[in-house]
Amino acid sequence: MTLEQEIAKRRTFGIISHPDAGKTTLTEKLLLFGGAIQKAGAVKSSKIKDHARSDWMEIEKQRGISVATSVMGFNYKDIKINLLDTPGHQDFAEDTYRTLTAVDSVIMVIDCVKGVETQTEKLMEVCRMRSTPVLCFINKLDREGRDPFELLDEIEEKLSIRVRPLSWPISMGKTFKGVYNLYEKTLQLFTPSKTTVEEGIEISDIQSEALDNWVGESYANQLRADVELIEGVYPSFDVNDYLAGEVAPVFFGSAVNNFGVKELLDTFIRVAPDPAPRETTIRIVKPEEEKFTGFVFKIHANMDPKHRNRIAFLRVCSGKFERGNNYYHVRQDKGIRFSNATAFMAQDRETVDEAWPGDIVGLYDTGNLKIGDTLTDGEKLMYTGIPSFSPEIFKEVVNKDAMKTKQLEKGLLQLMEEGVAQLFTYELGKKKVVGVVGALQFEVIQFRLKNEYGASVEFAGQNIYKACWISSHDPKKLQEFIDSKQRHIARDKDDKLVFMAESRAWLQMVQENFPDIKFHFTSEFKD
């Protein structure tokens, strides 16, 4: 196959939502249709023994929430789908934001009982910044939820995007009958099935009596009235508006019962965008270019607890990635070779010899790669737009077992490289402080240090307002500043100098007193 054909059959997308709207459950069902798994797992369930495939970390199984983005690839009707399931909880939002830089479109899951929630709004803002095409899936129709028209109005209002329903529910909750597909003009009747795939009934004309026989007269009349209203109120669906990120097609269903998912997937592969061109520091790179380029958007330590490995997730942006080739690492200005490259199915993996634009490849890394790094065939360009975050909550690491100091050091270093937390070591007394964006991260770090490295720690609260990276054009002035504020100077894991400010007022005063010192709120600053 040529490069153009390979690109045309790729779809790379992320699933986003507020916690508990049903992202992971939907991911499972999509994998089921793709034939990647024969039986779907569940996030929390007493009856279903299998855990969700994308929640493979021990802590995810215990909590019933996703704490890290997982990457899965599968084939469906000759289309290669790369799916990224993201954490919904806001304490892990930065992982989700970074993931959104690596996808071409997004499926947003909304709970029909709760409607649009705060985290959904935040994630939508990120999608709008990048004009990412969004497809909505309104979930949990097997529960008594809100009126579908009301939900559509709320999506339009809160997320500032036009909507167009492409399927429509017949009642909901206990009387839920099924979903009518407006795009295909077919009807799917509802039969609860939690783990396997069922075929639906096709009715080409909703005016026919057959519909009355299947769902009952009153529901059939209601559906006819609703469809008439939809066709009258909403403009017909235009794919170009969706690709421009202006219109969100809406589907209804119940992911846990595996209902409405097939319609979503069938339409998705038809309308979703191929891998798109991407911006770099010097030019826009098109996917069909011959030369390989790609960037790292996520690092995960210990995917395999037995081998202590680090895996960097690389999104291929142009050309063809071949295992064993020498590639240029732009930040370090040197050649780098990967003899081991893998494709993922959450934790399961297989070795890949080649990958094409849109694919996500896992690279075994010994510490050369960081989040945001670009790999190319030799060209000096850097992909832009991968966000870095300034920590907001700080706590000191207290080692509870002095015999395990070495394991703790190693564990902290590897977990920090994932980019979800930052480590600061004070110059005086070598006190270690971890900074994170969401408080739940501390629990995850504590759990993983214990489980994966055997190191027991506690976290003690610190009175710190901000971590500011410092630089100056005058080395003498910088040294004077360090000497006068020695108690508050620390270094990050890359050995950069950081000033730990205790309050906003104090930081402002220090900035006024030392005008030659520059204060930066992220570690990726340019002098």
3-271, CATH topology level: Rossmann fold (3.40.50)
d(C-alpha 170, C-alpha 467), whole Å: 54
d(C-alpha 32, C-alpha 82), whole Å: 14
Q: Which helix (H) or strand (E) holds 152?
A: helix 148-159
pTM of the entire predicted model? 0.78
Both structure tokens of 206? 């909703």
**Whose CA is closest to 130, among 161, 100, 85, 86?**
100
The three-state secondary structure class of 76 is strand
Both structure tokens of 215? 């769902």
Both structure tokens of 180? 């009518």
In this prediction, residue 306 carries a pLDDT of 62
Amino acid sitting at position 200: G
In this prediction, residue 267 carries a pLDDT of 86
Where along the chain do the CATH 3.40.50.300 domains lie?
A: 3-271, 278-376
278-376, CATH topology level: Rossmann fold (3.40.50)
Q: Give the N- to C-terminal CA distance of the chain in Å, as an integer.
A: 46
Cβ 345 vs Cβ 399: under 8 Å: no
Cβ 263 vs Cβ 253: under 8 Å: yes
In this prediction, residue 323 carries a pLDDT of 87
393-520, CATH topology level: Alpha-Beta Plaits (3.30.70)
Residue owning tokens 């070591």: 425
pLDDT tens for the 527 residues of the chain, in order: 788 888 888 898 888 887 777 777 787 777 777 664 444 444 443 333 445 555 545 555 554 444 455 677 888 888 888 888 776 555 556 667 778 888 899 999 898 888 888 878 888 887 887 788 999 999 888 888 888 899 999 999 998 899 999 888 888 778 877 888 887 777 777 766 554 555 556 666 677 777 777 778 888 888 888 888 988 888 888 999 999 989 999 998 888 887 788 888 888 888 899 998 988 888 999 999 999 999 998 887 665 556 566 788 899 999 999 988 899 999 888 999 888 888 765 445 678 888 889 888 888 887 788 888 899 998 899 888 776 667 888 999 999 988 998 999 888 888 887 777 889 999 888 899 998 877 888 888 898 889 888 889 999 999 999 889 899 888 899 999 999 999 999 998 888 899 999 998 999 999 999 999 998 887 666 65
**Whose CA is closest to 253, among 241, 266, 242, 269?**
266
**Whose CA is closest to 253, among 359, 330, 168, 362?**
168
State how far Cα 59 lies from the chain centre: 18
d(C-alpha 262, C-alpha 73), whole Å: 17
Where along the chain do the CATH 3.30.70.3280 domains lie?
A: 393-520
